[in-house]
C-alpha cells in the first residue's frame, strides 16, 4: 500500500479519484487547495503526489516546486488540462516526474502509478557500474551524478535514468518501446509523450554547457526512437 497525496480542487473529480485510489489499496490524503497540499506535505512523507496544476489559490507550478523541497524523493505526477509541450516542460522543470492530461482515464492512471511506484523501489538498489565518459559528459550511476565540462548537472530522477540508459549504448539506436520499458516500466500504459519531453529537457541541459564543450548529441530517429552520439572530437 502506498501513501498518496491528491491535490485536486474539483470536488467531483477529487471524490472519484480518491475513491478509486482507495479501492486499489492506497492510503489517500486529499487537499483541494495549494495551501492545503503544502500543509499536508509538512505533516508527513508521501510515496506519490497527484497534483492538479489548475488550483484556485496558488499557481500549480509554484506548488510543485515547493512540494519538491519538502518531499525530495516523492514521485510527483501532474494532472493538467494543458497539454502543450512548453506547459509540460515547465512543470517537469519545477520538479514533477510525469504528467497526465485531463480527463484522466482511470485505467491509465492506475497503470502509471504502479509503474512509478515500482521504479521508485528499483532505483534504491546499489549500482557498481563504472562511470561512463562521453566527451566532457560523465555519467556515474553509482552516485547518480552527472558532470559536464567539470560542472555538476542537476537532473530529475527520470532525466538521469533516461540519460544513463542512452549513455550505456552510445551510438546505438534505441527504440521508444525499449526506453519506455527500461526507464519507466515494461507495462507502461498510455501516451509516451513524456519521453519526448524528457529528451527535450536533457537537450536544454546540454545546451547550457556553453561553446567549446564536447557534448553528446541526442538524435531523434523518426518512427523508431533516439540515439546518443559521442562528440566527433572526443
The pLDDT score that the predictor gives to residue 186 is 65
Q: Is the pLDDT of residue 50 over 50?
A: yes
Q: Could you give the CA distance from residue 165 to residue 81 in angstroms, rounded to a whole number? A: 30
Please report, rounded to a whole number, the percentage of residues in the chain having pLDDT higher than 70: 90
Tell whether 114 is covered by a domain.
yes
User: Tell me, what CATH number does 109's domain have?
Assistant: 3.40.50.2300
- Tell whether 116 and 142 lie within a shared domain: no
The pLDDT score that the predictor gives to residue 187 is 64
Tell whether 137 is covered by a domain.
yes
User: Tell me, what CATH number does 210's domain have?
Assistant: 1.10.10.10
Residues 6+ apart with CB under 8 A from 123: 157, 161
- Tell whether 141 and 83 lie within a shared domain: no
Looking at 73, 89, 122, which one is the last position of a domain?
Answer: 122
- Tell whether 13 and 117 lie within a shared domain: yes
Task: Give 98's strand partners.
Answer: 77
Which pTM was predicted? Answer: 0.70
CB neighbours of residue 213 within 10 Å: 17
The pLDDT score that the predictor gives to residue 84 is 65
- Tell whether 162 and 57 lie within a shared domain: no
* Domain encompassing residue 22: 3-122
Give the pLDDT band (50/70/90) at residue 125. Answer: very low
Tell whether 73 is covered by a domain.
yes
Question: Which helix (H) or strand (E) element contains residue 40?
Answer: helix 34-43
Tell whether 21 is covered by a domain.
yes
Q: Could you give the CA distance from residue 228 to residue 165 in angstroms, rounded to a whole number? A: 10
When the pLDDT of each residue in the chain is averaged and rounded to a whole number, the result is 87
Task: Kindly give the interhelix angle for 34-43 and 60-70, rounded to the nearest 10 degrees.
Answer: 0
Question: Which helix (H) or strand (E) element contains residue 108?
Answer: helix 106-122
For 168-227, the pLDDT digits (tens) are: 999 999 999 999 888 887 667 666 788 888 899 899 888 877 677 899 999 999 999 999
The pLDDT score that the predictor gives to residue 122 is 47
Looking at 92, 122, 152, which one is the last position of a domain?
Answer: 122
- Tell whether 169 and 223 lie within a shared domain: yes
- Tell whether 44 and 117 lie within a shared domain: yes
Looking at 61, 92, 122, which one is the last position of a domain?
Answer: 122
What would the mean pLDDT of 89-112 be, rounded to a whole number?
Answer: 85
**Strand order across the beta sheet in which 98-101 lies:** 27-31, 3-7, 48-52, 75-80, 98-101
Q: Is the pLDDT of residue 3 over 80?
A: yes
The pLDDT score that the predictor gives to residue 127 is 53
Tell whether 162 is covered by a domain.
yes
- Contact between 118 and 130 (Cβ < 8 Å): no
Task: Tally the domains of the chain.
Answer: 2
- Contact between 146 and 140 (Cβ < 8 Å): yes
Backbone angles phi, psi at 168, to 5 degrees: -70, -25
Q: Is the pLDDT of residue 128 over 60?
A: no
- Tell whether 15 and 111 lie within a shared domain: yes
- Tell whether 13 and 53 lie within a shared domain: yes
- Tell whether 100 and 181 lie within a shared domain: no
Backbone angles phi, psi at 177, to 5 degrees: -60, -40
Tell whether 234 is covered by a domain.
no
- Tell whether 12 and 56 lie within a shared domain: yes
Q: Could you give the CA distance from residue 202 to residue 212 in angstroms, rounded to a whole number? A: 18
DSSP single-letter state for residue 56? S
- Tell whether 196 and 101 lie within a shared domain: no
Tell whether 138 is covered by a domain.
yes
- Tell whether 104 and 152 lie within a shared domain: no
Tell whether 127 is covered by a domain.
no
Amino acid at each position: 500500500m502506498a501513501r498518496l497525496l491528491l491535490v485536486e480542487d474539483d470536488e467531483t473529480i477529487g471524490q472519484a479519484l480518491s475513491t478509486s485510489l482507495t479501492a486499489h489499496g492506497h492510503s489517500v490524503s486529499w487537499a483541494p487547495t495549494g495551501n492545503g497540499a503544502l500543509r499536508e506535505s509538512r505533516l508527513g512523507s508521501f510515496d506519490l503526489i497527484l497534483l492538479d496544476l489548475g488550483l484556485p489559490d496558488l499557481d500549480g507550478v509554484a506548488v510543485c516546486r515547493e512540494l519538491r523541497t519538502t518531499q525530495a524523493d516523492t514521485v510527483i505526477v501532474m494532472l493538467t488540462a494543458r497539454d502543450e509541450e512548453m506547459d509540460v516542460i515547465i512543470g517537469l522543470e519545477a520538479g514533477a516526474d510525469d504528467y497526465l492530461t485531463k480527463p484522466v482515464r482511470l485505467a491509465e492512471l492506475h497503470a502509471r502509478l504502479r509503474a512509478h511506484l515500482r521504479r521508485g523501489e528499483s532505483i534504491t538498489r546499489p549500482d557498481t557500474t563504472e562511470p561512463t565518459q562521453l566527451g566532457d559528459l560523465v555519467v556515474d550511476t553509482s552516485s547518480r551524478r552527472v558532470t559536464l565540462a567539470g560542472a555538476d548537472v542537476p537532473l530529475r530522477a527520470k532525466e538521469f535514468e533516461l540519460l544513463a540508459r542512452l549513455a550505456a549504448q552510445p551510438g546505438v539506436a534505441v527504440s521508444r518501446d525499449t526506453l519506455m520499458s527500461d526507464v519507466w516500466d515494461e507495462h507502461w500504459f498510455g501516451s509516451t509523450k513524456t519521453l519526448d519531453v524528457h529528451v527535450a529537457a536533457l537537450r536544454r541541459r546540454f545546451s547550457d554547457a556553453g561553446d567549446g564543450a564536447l557534448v553528446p548529441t541526442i538524435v531523434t530517429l523518426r518512427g523508431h526512437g533516439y540515439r546518443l552520439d559521442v562528440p566527433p572530437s572526443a
